[in-house]
Amino acid sequence: MTQQEKIQQEIEETLKSLDGVKRAEANPYLFTRIKARMNKRTGAWERTFSFVSKPLVALAVLALVMAMNGWAFFGTTSNEIPDNLTAESENAVMPVFANEYQVVASVDNYDYVENGNK
């Protein structure tokens, strides 16, 4: 028998090696482990929920939300545009505003349209 024939025979034997294989058996405590994992997960949620639902924590969160609302409402009124704002002072404010809010005025595009219309 040549080497190649021996290899072919070995391949056939190997392919048959799973014939009649028995089913592997799971850990007999699988259910206990599953339950432990599920309880751990539920426990974590319950702990979070019970902490959040404590009256002291709930009141503190409520107070914080109200304080933030108050700050958002009253804090912004002081930044209102003054009544005596003139056209000149407005022109002076606009570049600062544009710079602050990253407004990119594409002047070139307007020029292009204007030139195109000419």
Partner 1 sequence: MINETELIERLKEGDETAFKTIVEQWQNMVYNTILGIVQNETEAEDLAQDVFIKVFEKIGTFKGDSKFSTWLYRIATTTALDHLRSKKRKKRFGFLQSLSGTSGEEKEQIPDFNHPGVSLDNKERAAVLFKAIEELPENQKTAYTLHKLEGLSYRDVSEVLNTTVSAVESLMSRANQNLRKQLEDYYNKHYR
Residue span binding partner 1 (CB under 8 A) among the ranges 6-14, 48-56, 60-68, 93-101: 6-14
Q: Is 107 in the site for partner 1 (CB under 8 A)?
A: no
Spell out the residues 6+ positions from residue 27 whose beta carbon is closer than 8 angstroms to its own. Answer: 33
Indicate whether 6 belongs to the interface with partner 1 (CB under 8 A).
Answer: yes
Supply 80's token pair: 């209102």
Does residue 1 touch partner 1 according to CB under 8 A?
no
Phi-psi category of residue 20: left, alpha or beta, with phi > 0 → left and psi -120 to 50 → alpha: left
Question: How far is residue 111 CA from its own chain's centroid?
Answer: 42
Q: How far apart are CA 66 and CA 73, in angstroms?
A: 10
> What sign has the CA pseudo-torsion 107, 111, 112, 113?
positive
Q: Is the Cβ of residue 34 or residue 60 nearer to partner 1 in the bound state?
A: 34
Contact mark string toward partner 1, 12..51, x via CB under 8 A: -xxx-xx-xxxxxxxx--xx-xx--xx-------------
Question: Which of residues 1 and 96 has its CB atom nearest to partner 1 in the complex?
Answer: 1
A 10 A CB-CB count for 53 gives 9
Please give the residue ranges that form the binding site for partner 1 (CB under 8 A). Answer: 3, 6-7, 10-11, 13-15, 17-18, 20-27, 30-31, 33-34, 37-38
